[in-house]
Structure 1
Amino acid sequence: MLGEIWSFQGRYRTLHLTWFAFFLTFVVWFNLAPLATTVRADMGLDLGQIRTIAICNVALTVPARVIIGMLLDKFGPRITYSSILVYAAIPCLMFATAQTFGQLVVARLLLSIVGAGFVIGIRMVAEWFPPKEIGLAEGIYGGWGNFGSAFSALTLVIVAGWLSFAGGASVDGVILNWRAAIALTGIIAAIYGVIYFFSVSDTPEGKTYQRPHKTAGLEVTSIRDFWGLMGMNVPFAAILAVLAWRLQKVGFLNSTTFPLAILAILIWYGAQSWGVIRTNKDLLLGRKTYPKEDRYSFRQVAILELTYIVNFGSELAVVSMLPSFFESTFSLPKSTAGILAASYAFMNLAARPSGGLLSDRLGSRKNTMGFLTIGLGIGYLLMSLIKPGTFVGSPGVILAVLLTMFCSFFVQAGEGSTYALVPLVKRRVTGQIAGLVGAYGNVGAVAYLTIYSLLPMWIGGGAEPTPAVVAASNSTFFQILGIAGLIVGFLCYFLLREPKGSFADLHEGEEETPALSAV
């Protein structure tokens, strides 16, 4: 497969078209960060308000990934991906034309749904590549598509400058048309959504797209798994409650609207639980028993959810704090600190495909997952040693960047390894499993960022944090990430099972046909 990656024929054409779809959703999802300072100055926002908008950017991604996983299994990846790409233009245009803080918040909440697009391509790629090659294919999809966030950070300020001929906001003497730049990302995504719809199919010729019997909730195959699923769904509601609490802390929600937000979260969790009950009603009432060959263990899904907390969840959190970490640790200019911090995200291009490739080649997807997750834990523990005065001067900065890149390799390779396993758990509900696992990544990000924001207060006893307290809280934060990684890594070794047919030529339920063998 390695020699055919650059081909634009057959399944490789679908792979390239699909990772680019993911790339555009991440360009859209992260289009605020590089222009946040300009938006704040132009709209007259205070620090709390711009942070509120940033929180809104991830608020609905958690439930959206769950819901889109259901829609994906029902309607197929072609129409689902095309729809979310076209939809992206709506919140982008709303944000670009907003005149008040409230309008910015509503637009950003709607735009956070676009961040759920990732899960769609997981099933599309799985339909086109056999189990023995699924790791590298999913790794390329995830790693190259994920680069959309870095591409947005690197280019949108330049694009906003090019578009300044039509007006814009002046910040430090530079005119940037942030409205046109953000609108442009949505328009490009929508155009590509139409192109994608007419350029791909859900499966190769001769294959049938397997759909679950019901899509209101994840189908499980035993009573024990039902209760496991119900328990693992609780953190979704809990993390949304944390987000609501943070919105209250920055003043967006008040004593009247905060209880309404909590009520809405409870209603959503109740609807989600009722959907699971309806889907599995016959199993619960004893009217249905799954034959052995059709069963799967939900424990597999639960452990993959935990791995995605510690790899993708930690990546989102670390990417958010790393520029300020380098700036405060080494007393660097903001621009230099930002460039050094980008080394973490840039590893995605190679690390995530490498994780998938290792999963394909090492002969055990389970052991590869465990190895990479433990490596992640060790990497974060090493990063906790980076403190002011520990690594000094240019050699110290270089060593810190090398440690960061070492850690980020295991983080992102672990992400690739996770999604080398997801499509092999149970084929007909791959979309829902991908959605649940992906949503747990966002659960981890919000949880980690909440801990990160509170650590200086805890360590400093509630007083204004001193540089020493900030350094101690940064070190503690990396230690928390490292310990969590080690724990989940050991769970992979002892509780994760090697999926049946991990390295087979055909997926579950497929039979060799002349049309399929020609793909």
Structure 2
Amino acid sequence: MDDLLSARPLDKLAIFSGKGVQMRTFHLTWLTFFFCFFGWFGIAPLMPLVREQLHLDKGQIGNIVIASVSATILARLVIGKLCDTLGPRLTYTLLLVVGAVPVMLIGLSNSYQSFLLFRLAIGIIGASFVITQFHTSMMFAPNVVGTANAVAGGWGNLGGGIANMVMPLVAAGFVSLGYVDRANSWRLAMVVPGLILLVMAWLYYKYTQDTPRGNYADIQRESAQQPKGTFLLALRDYRTWVLALAYGACFGIEITIDNVAAVYFVDHFGATMVMAGMLAGIFGFMNIFARGLGGWVSDKAGRTYGMQGKWLLLSGLLVLEGVGIALFALAPSLPLAIAAMLGFALFLKMANGCTYSIVPFVNKQALGSVSGVVGAGGNLGAMLVGFLFKSASISYSTAFLYIGIGVAAVGGLVLLVRLVRREISEPAAEAATEAPLTLAGA
């Protein structure tokens, strides 16, 4: 009986337990994603140093912000398909090893062009999110999968906030130890997250497995159940596109703020680099509870009101997020800006969790591809708003105001689409709330 239960998705999330392959995989998945985010945005709080040494102008910094999220778009699409076929364990291991290289080597940059290319390459690490959500979805039953996905994603996203707090201290530590001068400290500091990624690659390969039943290579999967044409299945469902748009309006904005917040606080409010990093870190630190809260509330709404309840919740969170961003843009002082940031951060991160509480119910046989397309939508949103921050004629505060208006509009659009489609039957989505969440017989 114990063997049978251990081979099934869990129907409860025991956060403080590491017992069983499901919980062991859960904890390794979010921790690995945490360090992926840490490496992805480790350079962001050090950009004032990079800007000074490489003589970067506002347009070039904007291009770097765009580059940091652009490669992730394609990477998430590819990684989603690999999860469906190769399995999350090997896919994650491969991504970690490849992604560690540009993280460690970005310190070799001596020009705007070379720095831009390294920043572009580092962006592939952002595809780790797709594996995280896929792997968690494989380990938990429908009644808690939204909460599990949101907690894993939120604790992983926390890496971006911690990077903003810690990386300036890491750079300062190398300076105080006499290993490097202040101007070049960012170069040595970036070796640290790269090495951590290699360690996590080994841990993930050794201590996780693809499904509760075992790895893809070891379990018997009936040919009729094996996913075929999963990418097309994902693209044919309108819900995939609506979720991708919504994720661009929440997660896309989150990683944009991870990239520009430190520079904004330095330039707009005269904060020091360490203080700006700490303030930007507060935004990211809210992932410790806010994304998980969004998934939990979404699961509750789903049990009470069905899938329509999840969608209506997502729409409301996006509207509130947009209003909060607009208030942040108009804040006349640093204390008010911080208050507004905490407000919209709560709704933004809850919207992240809510989005991926819906993803597992779109198409179970194309879970990896749906997750990849929606995740890519998040980065596409970040890339598009990045153009606002490179414009010489638009200030950062004005860019934030435009973003707030746009996010609120997306929230309204999500509501409109669901109301228009309400009369259309979605038996697959409704049945998914009652059936065990499995993929290809796993």
TM-score (norm 2): 0.82
**Matched residue SS, 1:4:** coil
**Matched residue SS, 1:167:** coil
Do structure 1's residue 169 and structure 2's residue 181 form an aligned pair? Answer: yes
Using the TM superposition, give the Cα deviation of residue 478 of structure 1 relative to its aligned residue in structure 2, in angstroms: 2.0
In the alignment, is the contact (CA less than 8 A) between 2:37 and 2:157 conserved in 1? yes
Aligned counterpart, 2:286: 347
State how many pairs are aligned: 415
Of the three residues 244, 250, 257, the one matched with 1:305 is 244
Letter of the 1:29 counterpart: W
Letter of the 2:404 counterpart: F
How far apart, in 2, do the equivalents of 1:319 and 1:445 lie?
Answer: 11
Of the three residues 255, 267, 271, the one matched with 1:333 is 271
Of the three residues 107, 119, 122, the one matched with 1:111 is 122
Structure with greater Cα Rg: 1
Aligned counterpart, 1:193: 201
Aligned counterpart, 1:372: 314
In the alignment, is the contact (CA less than 8 A) between 1:26 and 1:115 conserved in 2? yes
How far apart, in 2, do the equivalents of 1:324 and 1:35 lie?
Answer: 9
Q: Deviations over 1:418-456 (max 9, x none)?
A: 1112122222321111111001111111222324555x8
- Of 123-132 and 303-312, deviating more is 303-312
Using the TM superposition, give the Cα deviation of residue 58 of structure 1 relative to its aligned residue in structure 2, in angstroms: 1.9
Using the TM superposition, give the Cα deviation of residue 142 of structure 1 relative to its aligned residue in structure 2, in angstroms: 0.6
Letter of the 2:407 counterpart: L
* 1:445-484 matched pairs, under 5 angstroms: 445-451=382-388, 454=391, 457=393, 474-484=400-410
Do structure 1's residue 4 and structure 2's residue 14 form an aligned pair? Answer: yes
How far apart, in 2, do the equivalents of 1:28 and 1:393 lie?
Answer: 31
**Matched residue SS, 2:77:** helix
Aligned counterpart, 1:219: 232
In the alignment, is the contact (CA less than 8 A) between 1:360 and 1:503 conserved in 2? no
RMSD (Å), alpha carbons: 3.2
How far apart, in 1, do the equivalents of 2:129 and 2:208 lie?
Answer: 17
Using the TM superposition, give the Cα deviation of residue 59 of structure 1 relative to its aligned residue in structure 2, in angstroms: 2.5
Letter of the 2:370 counterpart: I
Of the three residues 356, 370, 380, the one matched with 2:295 is 356
Unaligned runs of 5+ in 2: 1-10
Of the three residues 375, 400, 420, the one matched with 1:438 is 375
Aligned counterpart, 2:411: 485
Using the TM superposition, give the Cα deviation of residue 384 of structure 1 relative to its aligned residue in structure 2, in angstroms: 2.6
Using the TM superposition, give the Cα deviation of residue 208 of structure 1 relative to its aligned residue in structure 2, in angstroms: 5.9
Residues 488, 382 of structure 1: alpha-carbon distance in 2 compared, 3 angstrom cutoff: same
* 1:81-480 matched pairs, under 5 angstroms: 81-164=92-175, 165=177, 167-171=179-183, 177-205=185-213, 211-214=226-229, 218-220=231-233, 229=235, 298-322=237-261, 331=269, 333-334=271-272, 339-362=278-301, 363=303, 364-385=306-327, 397-398=335-336, 400-451=337-388, 454=391, 457=393, 474-480=400-406
How far apart, in 1, do the equivalents of 2:399 and 2:45 lie?
Answer: 26
Do structure 1's residue 57 and structure 2's residue 64 form an aligned pair? Answer: no
How far apart, in 2, do the equivalents of 1:366 and 1:104 lie?
Answer: 45
How far apart, in 1, do the equivalents of 2:25 and 2:261 lie?
Answer: 35
Letter of the 2:286 counterpart: M
Q: Deviations over 1:390-421 (max 9, x none)?
A: x6778xx35x5444323222221111111112
Q: Deviations over 1:285-316 (max 9, x none)?
A: xxxxxxxxxxxx60121211121122212323
Of the three residues 420, 425, 437, the one matched with 1:507 is 437
How far apart, in 2, do the equivalents of 1:183 and 1:393 lie?
Answer: 36
Unaligned runs of 5+ in 1: 230-296, 459-464
How far apart, in 1, do the equivalents of 2:140 and 2:245 lie?
Answer: 25
Identity %: 29
**Matched residue SS, 2:93:** helix
Aligned counterpart, 1:78: 89
How far apart, in 2, do the equivalents of 1:321 and 1:93 lie?
Answer: 22
**Matched residue SS, 2:434:** coil
Q: Deviations over 1:323-367 (max 9, x none)?
A: 5666787x5635656544544332222111111111222223432
Letter of the 1:501 counterpart: A
How far apart, in 1, do the equivalents of 2:325 and 2:115 lie?
Answer: 36
**Matched residue SS, 2:207:** coil
Residues 429, 162 of structure 1: alpha-carbon distance in 2 compared, 3 angstrom cutoff: same
**Matched residue SS, 1:347:** helix
* Larger RCO of the pair (alpha carbons < 8 Å, separation 6+): 2
Using the TM superposition, give the Cα deviation of residue 211 of structure 1 relative to its aligned residue in structure 2, in angstroms: 4.0
In the alignment, is the contact (CA less than 8 A) between 1:365 and 1:502 conserved in 2? no
Residues 448, 124 of structure 1: alpha-carbon distance in 2 compared, 3 angstrom cutoff: same
Q: Deviations over 1:177-209 (max 9, x none)?
A: 322221221111012101110101001127767
In the alignment, is the contact (CA less than 8 A) between 2:38 and 2:163 conserved in 1? yes
How far apart, in 1, do the equivalents of 2:64 and 2:181 lie?
Answer: 19
In the alignment, is the contact (CA less than 8 A) between 1:87 and 1:190 conserved in 2? no
Using the TM superposition, give the Cα deviation of residue 20 of structure 1 relative to its aligned residue in structure 2, in angstroms: 0.9
TM-score (norm 1): 0.71
In the alignment, is the contact (CA less than 8 A) between 2:318 and 2:410 conserved in 1? no
- Of 304-313 and 91-100, deviating more is 91-100
Using the TM superposition, give the Cα deviation of residue 79 of structure 1 relative to its aligned residue in structure 2, in angstroms: 0.2
Residues 205, 509 of structure 1: alpha-carbon distance in 2 compared, 3 angstrom cutoff: closer
Aligned counterpart, 2:7: none
How far apart, in 1, do the equivalents of 2:279 and 2:212 lie?
Answer: 43
- Of 319-328 and 125-134, deviating more is 319-328
How far apart, in 1, do the equivalents of 2:341 and 2:29 lie?
Answer: 29
